[in-house]
Amino acid sequence: MTIKLSSTESVQNFFKEVSGFNNDQGSQRMKKLVNRILIDTIKIIEDMEVTTEEFWKAVDYLNRMGARGEAGLLVAGLGLEHYLDLLLDAQDEQAGLTGGTPRTIEGPLYVAGAPLSEGETRMDDGTDAGTVMFLQGQVKDVDGKPIAGAIVDLWHANTKGTYSYFDTTQSDYNLRRRIVTDSEGRYRARSIVPSGYGCPPEGTTQEVLNLLGRHGNRPAHIHFFISAPGYRHLTTQINLSGDEYLWDDFAYATRDGLVGDIRFIEDAVAAKARGLDGERF
Ligand code: MBD
Ligand code: FE
């Protein structure tokens, strides 16, 4: 028969002591959170009959995950980062805040401080022989009024699906830029078409995904932070249509309203006629 120590007074009192309830230092919030986590942990150990071998395997896993810096990747793959978006959506709906471009997860690969330009920029360093991509948009408020002076902070992967800084073979801030919107709220960028991301096959996140019978792939996508004084920050993405992982994203970031079409134009003259001028960048 399963032993349930978690509900006994002596074990409850022991973990209250462990959580600092018997001193008046530290953080009340932290004490309550740590206590809840510990009590829920021992309940899981009892309910799931977790063996000591499994327990120490989990401790070892955390050490290996931390050493690789994969905690952010794991919470994305376990859908917890997406869950936070669902929670924010529900809070917004309750507060009557509707409309606008949907939010989706940031993921673990953002780097702050990308080069800042006015109106337009080139994002790639020219070393990756990818397909040239032009990206343009307009930042508007929920009533459709253009927002001049908004900051559009963009980042995406290269043709191998890897990101600068995490892929140390790329130059600093490659495929990462901030653009200030012009008087009409518009921004334009020249870049290269990204490939989808895949979790490192030898990593700790993929190790868990394998045990769950899952892959670790994301569709090709472009990340956005949009911010402007007096407005809420938006974290979102464009996920590229036609990608086999568009609706099979290991991080659950693709959402209705966040799917973008890439229109391929073979003819540079035709592209220029449509305002997509590679020579300008
Ligand atoms: C990514 O590029 C990404 O966007 C997310 C959410 C998770 C892992 C890699
Ligand atoms: Fe990404």
Question: In terms of domains, do 66 and 153 share one?
Answer: no
- Name all residues whose Cβ lies below 6 A of ligand 1: 73, 76, 105, 107-109, 197, 218, 251, 253
- Read off the pLDDT of residues 141-160 as tens digits, 9 standing for 90 and up: 999 999 999 999 999 999 99
Confidence band of 274 (pLDDT split at 50, 70, 90) = confident
Mean pLDDT confidence for 184-212: 98
Q: Is 244 found in the same domain as 190?
A: yes
Residue 89 within a domain:
no
Residue bearing the bigger pLDDT, 273 or 96: 96
Q: Is residue 2 part of a domain?
A: no
What is the average per-residue pLDDT within 158-163?
Answer: 98
Q: What is the pLDDT of residue 1?
A: 60
**Residue 172 forms part of a structural domain:** yes
- 82 inside domain: no
Q: Point out the domain boundary residue: 77, 108, 123.
A: 77
Residues 34, 104: one domain? Answer: no
The whole-number average pLDDT for the span 8-15 is 98
Q: Which atom of ligand 1 is nearest to the CA of 250?
A: 7
Domain count within the chain: 2
For residue 107, give the ligand nearest its CA: 1
Distance separating alpha carbons of residues 281 and 273, to the nearest angstrom: 16
Residues 178 and 221 in one domain: yes
The answer for residues whose C-beta is within 8 angstroms of residue 197's C-beta and 6 or more apart is 157, 161, 162, 163, 217, 218, 221
In a domain? residue 94: no
Q: What is the mean pLDDT of the chain?
A: 96
Is residue 246 situated within a structural domain? yes
As a whole number of angstroms, the distance between CA 10 and CA 155 comes to 52
Residue nearest to ligand 1 atom 3, measured at CA: 107
Among 45, 77, 109, residue at a domain's last position: 77
The fraction of the chain above a pLDDT of 90, given in percent, is: 91
pLDDT tens-digit series, residues 74-90: 999 999 999 999 999 99
Based on its alpha-carbon atoms, the radius of gyration of the chain, rounded to whole angstroms, reads 23
113 and 16 within one domain: no
The per-residue pLDDT for 151 is 98
Q: Which stretch of 21-35, 91-105, 203-217, 257-271 has the lowest confidence by average pLDDT?
A: 257-271
Same domain, 148 and 274: yes
> For residue 108, what pLDDT is reported?
98
CA within 13 Å, CB half, 125: 14
* Ligand 2: centre distance to CA 269 (Å): 32
Q: Is residue 3 part of a domain?
A: no
Q: Are residues 244 and 150 in the same domain?
A: yes
Do 25 and 140 fall into the same domain? no
* 121 and 62 part of one domain: no
CA distance 281 to 270: 17
Q: Which domain range does residue 238 map to?
A: 99-280
Confidence of residue 230 (pLDDT cuts 50, 70, 90): very high
Tell me, in angstroms, the distance from the centre of ligand 2 to residue 73's CA: 10
Last residue of a domain, one of 77, 108, 128: 77
C-alpha span between 239 and 255 (Å, rounded) = 9
CA distance 12 to 21: 11
How far away, in angstroms, is 197 Cα from ligand 2 center?
7
Query: Best mutation site among 197, 221, 236, 252 for ligand 1, i.e. most ligand atoms within 8 A of its Cβ?
Result: 197
Angle between helices 204-211 and 52-68 (to 10 degrees): 140
pLDDT in the model for residue 149: 98
Calculate how far, in angstroms, residue 104's C-alpha sits from the geometric centre of ligand 2.
Answer: 11
Query: 40 near 7, Cβ under 8 Å?
Result: no
CATH assignment of the domain containing 125: 2.60.130.10
Our mutation pick for probing the ligand 1 site, out of 176, 215, 218, 239, counting the most ligand atoms within 8 A of Cβ, is: 218
Asked if 16 and 118 sit in the same domain, the reply is no
**Residue 206: inside a domain, yes or no?**
yes
Residues 119, 40 share a domain: no
Of 116, 114, 276, 111, the closest CA to residue 180 belongs to: 116
Nearest CA to ligand 1 atom 4: 107
Contact present, 260 and 221 (Cβ < 8 Å)? no
Q: How far is the CA of 77 from the centre of ligand 2 (A)?
A: 12
pLDDT score at 277: 75
Residues 111 and 240 in one domain: yes
* Cα dihedral 246, 252, 257, 259 in deg (nearest 10): -20
